[in-house]
Amino acid sequence: MHDIVDTAVAAGSFKTLVAAVTAAGLVDTLKGAGPFTVFAPSDDAFAKLPAGTVDELVKPENKEKLAKILKLHVIPGKVMAADVKGKKMSPASASGEAIDVDGTDGVKVSGAKVTSADIECTNGVIHVIDTVIMPKS
């Protein structure tokens, strides 16, 4: 079993996420002890963003903005799909902004649908989502 970053790299469907995490300087954090719950946008999720968005965000001058977006996808602790089944909650993300988790009909996170859940890692869990979560402000 690998940590969150190595699991994402090995999966092969998170190339954009891994590049973004690297550009934002969050690799060491996500390789840390955790535990973390990561709602990981797939490459297809990033492809839904307007053309040029990712290229703009990974520029060094946008590092803080990119980090804020990525931290929205992380909550402290290890939360499995069964923990939210039938519930609604609004945990604080690593960015400090609350995200909406709705487990009443499948699992949705701030409007993004969880397409694959409970990918266990040595320092937490990954849930794959179909849309990139953007800050409210």
CATH architecture for residues 4-129: Roll (2.30)
Contact 14, 43 (CB under 8 A): yes
Look at residue 137 and tell me whether its pLDDT is greater than 80: no
Q: Report residue 72's pLDDT band, with 50, 70 and 90 as the boundaries.
A: very high
Residue spans per domain, the chain: 4-129
Q: What integer pLDDT is reported at residue 87 of this predicted model? A: 96
Q: C-alpha angle with apex 95: 9 to 77, nearest 5 degrees?
A: 65
* CA quadruple 95, 73, 67, 34: dihedral sign: positive
Q: State residue 111's pLDDT score.
A: 93
If you average pLDDT over residues 17-23, what whole number do you get?
A: 95
Over residues 76-99, the mean pLDDT reads 95
In the numeric block, which tokens belong to residue 130? 């179909």
- Please state the pTM of the whole predicted model: 0.95
5 — pLDDT class (breaks 50, 70, 90): very high
Nearby residues of 22 by Cβ (< 8 Å), 6 or more positions away: none
Average predicted confidence (pLDDT) for the chain: 95
Within its chain, how far is the Cα of 99 from the centroid?
Answer: 11
Given this model, what pLDDT does residue 136 score?
Answer: 83
Distance, in Å, from the CA atom of 66 to the CA atom of 132, rounded to the nearest integer, reads 12
pLDDT for the residue 23? 95
The pLDDT value given to residue 78: 96
